[in-house]
Structure 1
Amino acid sequence: MNFITFTEAKLRSFTYSIFKKMGCSHEHATLATDVLIRSDLRGIDSHGVARLSGYVRLWEKKRINATPNIKVVYETPTTATVDGDGGLGLVVAPFAMKVAIEKAEKFGSGWVAVKNSNHFGIAGYHALLAVEKDMIGISMTNASPLVAPTYANERLLGTNPMCYAFPAGKYPPVVVDMATAAAANGKLEIAQRANKEIPDGWVQDNEGNSSTNPNELKNGGSLLPLGSDKDHGSHKGYGLSATVDILSAVLSGANYGPWVPPFVAFLEPNANPVGEGIGHFFGAMRVDGFRPADDFKNHLDNWIERFKSAKTINPSQKVIIPGEPEAEAEVERKVNGIPIIDVVVNDLNELAIKLGVEGLS
């Protein structure tokens, strides 16, 4: 497995050119590019430019609308439902979070459900938009059914990530960004490219047996909920995933459970959908609706320092604050560039030839 390092500017230019070839406006291409590059900067390689080919294939299948009319279709002073018009989730999600933030600025909090959208990148990107305004940001989405509920051997839920982001003072924000499955599907894809086994407890085969094969989903297997099995708390991951599905889709009018359309283009959406597209859910809460923002941030700094000073089992280890590795990666990669695995680089160069844009190398 080899990596090729690119500057942030190079990857931005390349990614923007792909979205423009799809027919996106300058504004939408710029925004979609920012979401993907932020993922690569933060070290979440599975959701960055490696996803570009997937978006293009869905667009070619007419399952992504490059010129959506994104609009609010229902609202109260503090809540809203947004129709993404089949657009890129990378564009629809920031629109919806902006609505939540605007409502929070006026009324203290804002809550927005989204239907008729697509894959929205990393949940952290959208939650951090609220942090920039001294707000607590909440972001979640349902996803293609790849996860079997506790005791089941049937894919009914997605990896259904959720993110909570909190503004700190002198430290980076605390960002709890996680899939509600034992592992995100992107981690299986990384293992496939590296030809490596995955840890026990991530997936089960089509008979319900634990497997370390990263290709198990292609063989009819399924991902497991966070916790892996009942003895290790999988009912908790199942419950979290169900919460994301209900808030994102049952509430908004999007597809839920096994009806969520697949991210891969070679699989067709369910012929009898129960809603429209993929669903998201966003929240923004003004910190100063609870106490002065500076007081909160000073105490969150104190919280961070106390947890960082915790006695560890192994002296060579340290307690990691949620979001800390991603913040450190972002600082390092902005200076030294973004490493992309050669398999992905080859895929992107083939995509460039196909669409007639300048490749990465």
Structure 2
Amino acid sequence: MNELIFQEAYLRNFTESVFKKIGCPDEHAVLAADVLLKSDLRGIDSHGVARLSGYVRLWEKKRINATPDIKIVHETPTTATVDGDAGLGLVVAPFAMKVALEKAEKFGSGWVAVRNSNHFGIAGYHALMAVEKDMIGFAMTNASPLVAPTFTTERLLGTNPMCYGFPAGNYPPVIVDMATSAAANGKLEIAQRKNKPVPDGWVQTSDGQLTTDAHALKSGGSLLPLGSDRDHGSHKGFGLGATVDILSAVLSGANYGPWVPPFVSFIDPLPDLPGAGIGHFFGAMRVDGFRPVDEFKQHMDKWIERFKSAKPISADQPVVIPGEPELEAEVYRRENGIPLVEPVVKDLNELAGKLGVSLLKQQI
């Protein structure tokens, strides 16, 4: 499938214009665009500007409030619960992470649960906010139910990603950013656009049979937990996904399990739900609450060097430290542009035409 290449600044301006057109304040539009562009720069194409039309459809369904009153509704010195007022998760999540960082700066650690939010982009964006302040960052979110727990065909959990960020010294930070399902739904969407099968162990049919059909979810199938099946540890993926769901939603007052609203809902109105919106959970810990920062970074560097020097199975494939591929993509794409597949460009230009935004034109 052909790809078109766009400069970061050009896509950033386009994305900001779309958010402003749906009524977002300038500050929110700039922040939301930054979260999406960070995803595209880091090579996580499923969570970048390709999601723009989804956010607009949610706004059209009145599921997203373009001018939210985001506020703390419960608080202790080291913890808080934030209500996002149905705002863009791309805006609500950084607000909540800043609260966690402020608490960590004063008391050593900060923990924030969020309710009444929406899709927040990549978890890595928010964990990196802590890393930039020499803190260890945690970010996670629940999501609409697409994943069937071990031994069932019923969708009860989202892909429920979690991210852990650790600062280093001479090396880039270690960023562990992953879905708790065998694959993120966005990877299925990419395979669908390219009309390609997905690997074994990602999805199952409506009757529980493994399949490589990227469209299986449209016919009642489901994503599988990390581990794919019981013999390969899917109960562990189920446990991780459950942990994210409980911390993000049961703790905050958001919707959980099968009641999490879909990213783009064609159910109008939504049925009665036990909570408000979707939920997130954030944490920040000061490294110097445990040992001097310089010492920690020195040993993080040593940790990275030892793992990088591990004897490889194949000489042309060394150990990859978590976060390395994303950083390499970011360096390359800042210099050479961001690729978008033709169906995404077509979708964005249809959106631009509807909102009265200048159409995307290939630059490179």
Aligned twin of 2:299: 299
| Letter paired with 2:5 | T
1:330 and 2:320 are equivalent in the alignment: no
Q: Distance in 1 between matches of 2:313 and 2:352?
A: 49
Task: Please report the TM-score for the alignment, with normalisation by the length of structure 1.
Answer: 0.99
Aligned twin of 1:112: 112
| Letter paired with 2:100 | A
Q: CA RMSD in A?
A: 0.7
Aligned twin of 1:76: 76
User: Following TM superposition, by how much is the alpha carbon of 1:269 offset from its aligned partner in structure 2, in angstroms?
Assistant: 6.8
Aligned twin of 2:58: 58
1:352 and 2:356 are equivalent in the alignment: no
Give deviations 1:53-96, integer Å, cap 9, x for gaps: 00000000000000000000000000000000000000000000
Aligned twin of 2:24: 24
- Among all aligned residue pairs of Structure 1 and Structure 2, give the percentage whose two residues are the same amino acid: 78
Are the aligned partners of 1:261 and 1:269 in contact in 2 as well (CA < 8 Å)? no
Give deviations 1:124-163, integer Å, cap 9, x for gaps: 0000000011000000000000000000110000000000
Q: Distance in 1 between matches of 2:167 and 2:269?
A: 39
User: Following TM superposition, by how much is the alpha carbon of 1:272 offset from its aligned partner in structure 2, in angstroms?
Assistant: 1.8
User: Following TM superposition, by how much is the alpha carbon of 1:351 offset from its aligned partner in structure 2, in angstroms?
Assistant: 0.5
| Letter paired with 2:9 | A
User: Following TM superposition, by how much is the alpha carbon of 1:316 offset from its aligned partner in structure 2, in angstroms?
Assistant: 1.3
Give deviations 1:15-36, integer Å, cap 9, x for gaps: 0000000100010000000000
Are the aligned partners of 1:109 and 1:285 in contact in 2 as well (CA < 8 Å)? yes
Single out whichever of 89-98 and 268-277 deviates more from structure 2. 268-277
Q: What is the DSSP-based 3-state SS (H/G/I as helix, E as strand, rest coil) of the residue aligned with 1:320?
A: coil
Aligned twin of 1:309: 309
Q: Distance in 1 between matches of 2:262 and 2:268?
A: 7
Are the aligned partners of 1:248 and 1:281 in contact in 2 as well (CA < 8 Å)? yes
Q: Gaps spanning 5+ residues in structure 2: where?
A: none
Q: Distance in 1 between matches of 2:133 and 2:269?
A: 38
Q: Distance in 2 between matches of 1:42 and 1:95?
A: 22
1:188 and 2:188 are equivalent in the alignment: yes
Q: 1:165-314 to 2 correspondence within 5 Å?
A: 165-268=165-268, 270-314=270-314
Q: Gaps spanning 5+ residues in structure 1: where?
A: none
Q: In the comparison of the two structures, how many residue pairs are matched?
A: 361
User: Following TM superposition, by how much is the alpha carbon of 1:233 offset from its aligned partner in structure 2, in angstroms?
Assistant: 0.2
Q: What is the DSSP-based 3-state SS (H/G/I as helix, E as strand, rest coil) of the residue aligned with 2:53?
A: helix
Structure 1 runs (4+) deviating above 3 angstroms are: 267-270
Task: Please report the TM-score for the alignment, with normalisation by the length of structure 2.
Answer: 0.98
Q: Distance in 2 between matches of 1:180 and 1:249?
A: 16
Give deviations 1:271-321, integer Å, cap 9, x for gaps: 120100000000000001000111101110111111001001111111000
Are the aligned partners of 1:149 and 1:155 in contact in 2 as well (CA < 8 Å)? yes
Q: What is the DSSP-based 3-state SS (H/G/I as helix, E as strand, rest coil) of the residue aligned with 1:177?
A: strand
Give deviations 1:300-355, integer Å, cap 9, x for gaps: 01111110010011111110000000011111111111111111011101110010
Give deviations 1:99-123, integer Å, cap 9, x for gaps: 0000000000000000000000000
Are the aligned partners of 1:2 and 1:342 in contact in 2 as well (CA < 8 Å)? yes
Aligned twin of 2:13: 13
Give deviations 1:181-222, integer Å, cap 9, x for gaps: 000000000000000000010000000000100000000000
Q: 1:148-163 to 2 correspondence within 5 Å?
A: 148-163=148-163
User: Following TM superposition, by how much is the alpha carbon of 1:265 offset from its aligned partner in structure 2, in angstroms?
Assistant: 2.9
Q: Distance in 2 between matches of 1:50 and 1:10?
A: 15
Q: Distance in 2 between matches of 1:101 and 1:267?
A: 37
| Letter paired with 1:2 | N
Q: What is the DSSP-based 3-state SS (H/G/I as helix, E as strand, rest coil) of the residue aligned with 2:319?
A: coil
1:45 and 2:64 are equivalent in the alignment: no
Aligned twin of 1:95: 95
Change (3 A) 1:37 1:269: farther
Aligned twin of 2:147: 147
| Letter paired with 1:103 | K
Q: What is the DSSP-based 3-state SS (H/G/I as helix, E as strand, rest coil) of the residue aligned with 1:73?
A: strand
